[in-house]
Amino acid sequence: MSQGRSFRINLPTLFERVNARRKAQGLSTVEPAVMAVRASIKFAIDRQRYMDLQNTEIDLEKTDADALCHALGELFNVDLHLDDDPLADKSAAPAAAAGGTEDARRVLPMFQFYAAINRQRRAKGLQPVEPAVISVHTGIKFSIMRRRALNFREDKLIVSDGDLDALDEIVAQQFDVAIPGGLRSLCPAVAKAAPPSTAPGVDAGGEGKRFLGRFLHGITAKDESRMHTRHYALDTNNLLLSIITRRAYLGHRPITPDKVKKRCREALSAELELEVDLNDERITLTPDQLDRFADLIRKEFEIMFEDMGDLLGKKTKT
Amino acid sequence: MKETPEYQHGQAFLGGLNHVYHCNHYNAHLQMTVMLADGVEGGFDPRRLLRDGAAQVVQALKARGYEPQDLRDEFTWCGFGYIKDVTADQVELPGSHYGQSTYLLGVPEKSCFFNAGFLQGMTGRATTETACRHTKARTDVFDFGAPAPAPDNPFVNPPPFTPVPRRFDFQGCEIASTPVDEDTIVATVATLPLYGKPPSENGDGLIPAFGVVLTNHYADYYNLISYQTYGHMVHAGVPADMAREAFVQCGHVCAFNTFGGIMESPEFHALVVPMCQDVADWIHGMVAVINALGWGAWRVERIVPGKELIVRIYNSYEGVGYRRLHPAAPEKQLSFLAMGAVRGLAHLFWKIDIRERPGLSQDYYFNVFNSHQGYWNVEQTHAIAAGDGFDRIVAWK
């Protein structure tokens, strides 16, 4: 069976099968409701994703279906394999989604998601909405519309085309804006059936296409084209000044440039295993390191920005 | 006014119902949270709940002998605005808390559901909002149609009030004393003119104070709409923590705007700040003010500056209100407002420092106060809703 294929599983039948196997082993039966709750939790832990197992039928990809069987097997002491059992309609159509191929998985970077909503709200003369509110409102509407939950507090989400259609609808309804080109325009990458927890490792279709990539040319960068990997040089003074200014704008307690340097150096060393000297005029990073450095700066200095281009004031207007 | 407010058990009562002060931001966010449940399942209409919940509260007042004029007077006194007759089948609200002071983040729609429900309960006729400031109308207009059946009384259980211990005088309390004089603060706040005035007194029925617009709202209304919505969301498969967080956020926005506005106000600086020597005293001072809001009796159990804040609430309006509606709950984390408020209180001192009067604005809320960085955790460990003697909220970083 190929990866990414959808299975429609009849849950009462699946639970009956679990109980039949338990009986055969001389074990007591388990209430289907209990099975559903416990398997949901185990599945969520294993796959980093919530799945409502109270429904009658559920559409799953093979990896998820295998994970569910594994969860049930482990929880209820039975040996259960999807391939052995007539539990799933293997020819079932993918989960309902308007027009999209559910197998396609895209990476939705959440900072881009929040920024896009607020860019459109500002353009409309509306107050921006905090990411904390966007994430919880979107999360609830998504759960209701798609009958499954995603963790909108992640940095990135892996979503299908159907999910993106639902999210476009939610954004319009809840935040009164439409993202030009739809949310697909924020998802440059197509992941290959990777679960959310593996998002950082997802093939992003080439470094130049990463979500930060299109802003990188706006940064004071030098293209070291003779190297295999494109590198970008950040002007250190500009970086320090940008961090300090943005903190001041947000009302944070002031910190000295030396402290900023020290914390940047420690973060780069601890998280990226990079030894850099912030006293140098420039530091050179790959696009991936740049992405991760941006995340570190957000966390370390409690400031929000869309990407390095945005932080350094080099973002080109589109 | 038909009746005057009474204070018992840490709660404020008017017409036999618990009233609680809340700001326009809380009312806006709570209404939006309820509306998120649109589409959870057949038969549940959150907009109808928002309207019918108000009618149910009015029905309880009518059962106590309220006449239409009593209801109009109370509507204005509580800060909801004032009602002006247009025809026998139509009224408008030239002053309207829900029309003027609340907001929607989503697509604009006619959304003065509380007003519609109040009028429906008052007149006994189906009420439709036909014009609304949210959709750029000049004023809010309501049309009356066919007679509407009297709503059921959902408040079926007696309120489980418990004795309130004196401040710091309960087992587990880790605080011995403070120079903050709570009795004086509560007594002084009670003298503030926090009520809506009618046009005859040059008022518009609104209560602007501390940089927000307050209502002295019906706690039962909040509880009705919150717990029904939460239940429907969870039943439909929304993870409970996600649904809960949406309600907790309402308390958080309330803490920023109302607590923050109070602590930046000249009144607070004149009355409370001179009693304060350190950050813990500021918390005791703000908690003393909270104890005048009708929310129940708040008692601070533990303060570890920058790390932990634990508050107990005796006779919390959420816990007691839940039990008036439902049997004891199987889960504890149901005092949503209290969780958001305690987290917000911690953020006011240790995410920002409200003592420095940073100046509160929506931009500041967006960029700093409700930014992801430095967020405190919050958990409810004891719940009146679940049969405990008090609510206990733990916030920690």
What pLDDT shows up at residue A95? 36
Domain-located, residue B102: yes
How confident is the model over B57-64, as a mean pLDDT?
A: 96
Nearby residues of B160 by Cβ (< 8 Å), 6 or more positions away: B320, B323, B384
Query: Which among B147, B173, B190 is the end of a domain?
Result: B147
Does A314 have pLDDT greater than 90?
Answer: no
What are the chain B neighbours of A54 within 8 Å (beta carbons)? Answer: 237
Residues B108 and B224 in one domain: no
Q: Are residues B98 and B197 in the same domain?
A: no
Kindly tell me if the per-residue pLDDT of B61 is higher than 70: yes
If asked whether residues B39 and B115 sit together in one domain, one would say: yes
Determine, for residues A130 and B373 on separate chains, whether the beta-carbon distance falls below 8 Å.
no
Neighboring chain B residues of A129 at a CB cutoff of 8 Å:
105, 366
| Amino acid A28: pLDDT | 56
Q: Are residues B229 and B371 in the same domain?
A: yes
Reported as a single tens digit per residue, the pLDDT across A128-154 is 898 889 999 999 999 999 888 888 888
Residues of chain B found within 8 Å of residue A249, distances taken between Cβ atoms = 367
- In chain B, residues with a C-beta closer than 8 Å to the C-beta of A131 are 371-372
Region A52-59: what's the mean pLDDT?
A: 77
Range with the poorest average pLDDT among A182-191, B110-119, B149-158, B159-168: A182-191
Count: domains in chain B: 2
Contact at CB, A130 and B40, closer than 8 angstroms: no
For residue A288, name the pLDDT band (cuts at 50, 70, 90).
Answer: confident
The pLDDT of residue B63 is 94
* Interface check B366 vs A, CB under 8 A: yes
Partner-chain contact B39 A145, CB within 8 Å: yes
Give the minimum alpha-carbon distance from B13 to chain A in angstroms, rounded to a whole number. Answer: 33
Instruction: Say if B161 falls within a structural domain.
Output: no
Chain B residues whose beta carbon lies within 8 Å of the beta carbon of residue A147: 237
Average pLDDT of the residues in B125-144:
97
CB contact under 8 A, A250 and B368: yes
Q: Which residues of A touch B37 (CB under 8 A)?
A: 140, 144
Does residue B127 sit within a domain?
yes
pLDDT at residue A70 in the model: 77
Cβ contact B246–A175 (<8 Å): no
- Residue B9 in domain: no
Residue B2 lies in a domain: no
Rounded CA-CA distance A88/A8 in Å is 5
Q: Which chain B residues are within 8 Å of A55, Cβ to Cβ?
A: 237
Q: Do B123 and B265 belong together in one domain?
A: no
Per CB-CB distance under 8 Å, the chain B contacts of A250 are: 367-368, 371
Give the mean pLDDT of chain B: 95
Residues B140 and B248 in one domain: no
Within a domain: residue B13? no
What ipTM score was computed for the predicted complex, to two decimals? 0.86
Which chain B residues are closer than 8 Å to A137 by Cβ?
32-33, 36, 105, 246
- Interface contact flag, A141 B36, Cβ < 8 Å: yes
What percentage of residues in chain A have a pLDDT greater than 70?
64
What are the chain B neighbours of A128 within 8 Å (beta carbons)? 366
Inter-chain touch A251–B358, beta carbons under 8 Å: yes
Cα B306 to Cα B309: distance, rounded to the nearest angstrom: 9
Do B198 and B138 share a domain, yes or no? no
Of the residues B96, B131, B147, the one at which a domain ends: B147
Q: Which residues of A touch B (CB under 8 A)?
A: 50, 52, 54-55, 127-133, 136-137, 139-141, 143-145, 147-149, 153, 172-176, 249-252, 298-299, 302-304
Torsion, CA A95, CA A97, CA A103, CA A105, rounded to 10: -130
Among residues B124, B147, B170, the one where a domain terminates is B147
Partner residue opposite B238 with nearest CB, options A131, A143, A302:
A143
| One domain for residues B239 and B108 | no
State pLDDT tens for residues B241-294: 999 999 999 999 999 999 999 999 999 999 999 999 999 999 999 999 999 999
Q: What is the model's pLDDT at position A206?
A: 32
C-alpha dihedral (A48, A49, A50, A52), degrees to nearest 10? -130
Output the pLDDT for position B43.
80
The chain-wide mean pLDDT, for chain A, equals 71
Of the candidates B32, B364, B375, which has its C-beta nearest A251's C-beta? B364
pLDDT at A25: 61
Q: Would you state the pLDDT for residue A280? A: 81
Provide the pLDDT confidence category of residue B208 given band limits of 50, 70 and 90. Answer: very high
Residues spanned by the domain of B207: 182-396
Q: How far is A250 from chain B (nearest CA, A)?
A: 6
Chain A touched by B243 (CB under 8 Å):
yes
CA distance B214 to B258: 9
Question: Can you tell me the mean pLDDT for A206-223?
Answer: 36
Confidence (pLDDT) at A222: 40
Do B105 and A137 count as a contact with CB atoms less than 8 A apart? yes
For the CA atoms of B158, B163, B164, B168, what is the dihedral angle to 10 degrees? -150
**Among chain A residues, CA nearest to B362:** A127
Residue B172 lies in a domain: no
Greater confidence, B268 or A32?
B268
The residue-averaged pLDDT of B128-141 equals: 97
Give me the mean pLDDT over the B81-103 stretch. Answer: 97
Tell me whether residues B239 and A50 touch, CB distance under 8 A. yes
Residues B287 and B386 placed together within one structural domain of the fold:
yes
Assigned domain for B155 exists: no
Asked if the Cβ–Cβ distance from A137 to B246 is below 8 Å, we say yes
Give mean pLDDT, residues B112-128. 98
Q: Please report which confidence band the pLDDT of residue A96 belongs to, taking 50, 70 and 90 as the band edges.
A: very low
Q: Are residues B275 and B369 in the same domain?
A: yes
Buried b (16+ CB within 10 A) or exposed e, B242-264: bbbbbbbbbbbbbbbbbbbbbbb
Residues 90-109, chain B: which have Cβ within 8 Å of A? 104-108
Q: For residues B190 and B138, state if they share a domain.
A: no
Looking at residue B313, its pLDDT comes to 98
Across the interface, which of A147, A174, A252 has its CB nearest the CB of B105? A174
pLDDT at A102 over 60: no
CATH number for B143: 3.30.1380.20
Whether residue A131 and residue B372 make contact (CB cut-off 8 A), yes or no, is: yes
Report the DSSP beta bridge partners of residue A59.
A8
Query: What's the pLDDT band for A197 if we cut at 50, 70, 90?
Result: very low
- Same domain? For B260 and B354 the reply is yes
User: B363 falls in which pLDDT band (50, 70, 90)?
Assistant: confident
- Which of A140, A153, A250 is closest, CB to CB, to B238? A140
